[in-house]
Amino acid sequence: MAFAPPDGRSVAATAGETSRQVTRPGPAGTGQGAAGKSRGLSGGRTEPACHNPGDAGRSEWRRPQRRRLVTLLFHGGETMNQMKLQRHLVLGLLAAAPLMGCPSSARPYEVADGYIYVQKEGRRNDATPWELVWEDDFDKGALDAAHWTRLGLFTTPEIKLPVERWQENKGCFRYITATDDRVVRFDEDNIHLRGIVNDNPSTGDPRPFLTGGISTRHKFAFQYGRIEIRAKLEPAHGAWPAIWMKSEKAIYPNQHNGEMDIMERLNHDDFAYQTTHSHWTINLKQASPRKSATGRIAPGGYNVYSVSWYPDKLVYAINGVETITYPKVPGGGTFQWPFDQPFFLYMDQQLEGSWPGKVTHPEELPVGMVVDWVRLYQ
């Protein structure tokens, strides 16, 4: 995270800056930020393994028997839990598609190093339909350890500090913990990443607050595509929830390797920031192209935050409405555009810092970011 406002303009100048409606791959594209987890087959969303890119606008598989099976799975149940089960069965079917006669060449990505989804070169354009390639619905009651790792100031290698030196961290991970289950919880449909008052001395943690966060680093990353996150943000003074991405491999030495801030929200704001960071913006202080904008959110409900990542631009949106496009600048080099390498995802509920300020009303805690789902399209 960059630990300062994304640009020098006032909130009044940036709040609500939006332009056009983004073409979206699923129910969220209707503008319904509260769209839930059950999805049908419209829009070609559930054919990531076998959908023919040349069949834009059609929701058909090449094999009729598979189409009939999916129809049965999606229309045979009536309850939400049944629909979720059906959804997982379909995704399992898609994952097994190569064994059923659908070649890997039909997938929109290649897998590198066993866990990095690299979108195929021929699909890196505005015209090719998006296809769902991975998702997490957070409805298992526990973290999927194959894709996620909890973050902790005393345990995560890239931020690790000894317990007695915790105050040296002045940034977003100051209170993050991987060992206290109060800050990462689950209900039937969501993961709750929380910020709490640390009122339990038996933990041996000397920090006044504790926060929860997770990342996909070294477990799941991708290069190019659209990632969407449906989340509800609880308000509190000093609260700083964030959804962001950083370079998985940092392939460019002696420079910043880029950051995409898909969502940052402060305190009780009714808008969220979306920002691009790089050596160009942080170290060289270049103000053009504009790196950040805000978009209105429904403060008490779920909103869908996204970035569509192409080889020459990043298109940010909230609830399907574009907030800003950050372009690749000819001649800018890797300082301006390090976004040609795999990135991984962070999601964390932060507290305090120079940007949101102090927790001035501790009675507002616990506070949390409630995440319904994460989806990746390519």
Domain span including residue 250: 11-37+137-377
User: Per-residue pLDDT averaged across 278-306, rounded?
Assistant: 97
Q: Is residue 315 a part of any domain in this protein? A: yes
The predicted-structure confidence for 6-15, as pLDDT tens digits, reads as follows: 443 333 333 3
Q: Is the pLDDT of residue 361 over 70?
A: yes
User: Per-residue pLDDT averaged across 341-349, rounded?
Assistant: 98
Tokens of 136: 């997490």
Q: Is residue 160 a part of any domain in this protein? A: yes
CA nearest to 62, candidates 72, 75, 76, 47: 47
Q: Is residue 63 a part of any domain in this protein? A: no
The predicted-structure confidence for 189-236, as pLDDT tens digits, reads as follows: 999 999 999 998 788 999 999 999 999 999 999 999 999 999 999 999
Q: Is residue 65 a part of any domain in this protein? A: no
Q: How many helices (H) and strands (E) does the chain have?
A: 5, 19
pLDDT, residue 83, reads 56
Q: Is residue 67 a part of any domain in this protein? A: no
Q: Is residue 205 a part of any domain in this protein? A: yes
Q: Is the pLDDT of residue 43 over 60?
A: no
Q: Is residue 177 a part of any domain in this protein? A: yes
3 state SS of 231: strand
Crossing angle of helices 64-75 and 80-95, in 10° steps, is 160
Q: Is the pLDDT of residue 335 over 80?
A: yes
The predicted-structure confidence for 63-95, as pLDDT tens digits, reads as follows: 333 333 333 333 344 444 555 565 655 555 555
pLDDT, residue 44, reads 30
Q: Is the pLDDT of residue 112 over 90?
A: yes
pLDDT, residue 248, reads 98
Q: Is residue 267 a part of any domain in this protein? A: yes
User: Per-residue pLDDT averaged across 122-139, rounded?
Assistant: 95
Euclidean distance between CA atoms 113 and 98, whole angstroms: 19
Tally of domains in the chain: 1
Euclidean distance between CA atoms 191 and 169, whole angstroms: 26
Q: Please state the pTM of the whole predicted model.
A: 0.80
Q: What is the CATH number of the domain that holds 228?
A: 2.60.120.200
CA nearest to 303, candidates 31, 109, 98: 31
Q: Is the pLDDT of residue 26 over 80?
A: no
Contact assessment for residue 221 and residue 248, using Cβ atoms and an 8 Å cutoff? yes
Give the burial class of 166: count Cβ atoms within 10 A of its Cβ; 0-12 exposed, 13-18 middle, 19 or more buried: middle
Across the chain, mean pLDDT equals 82
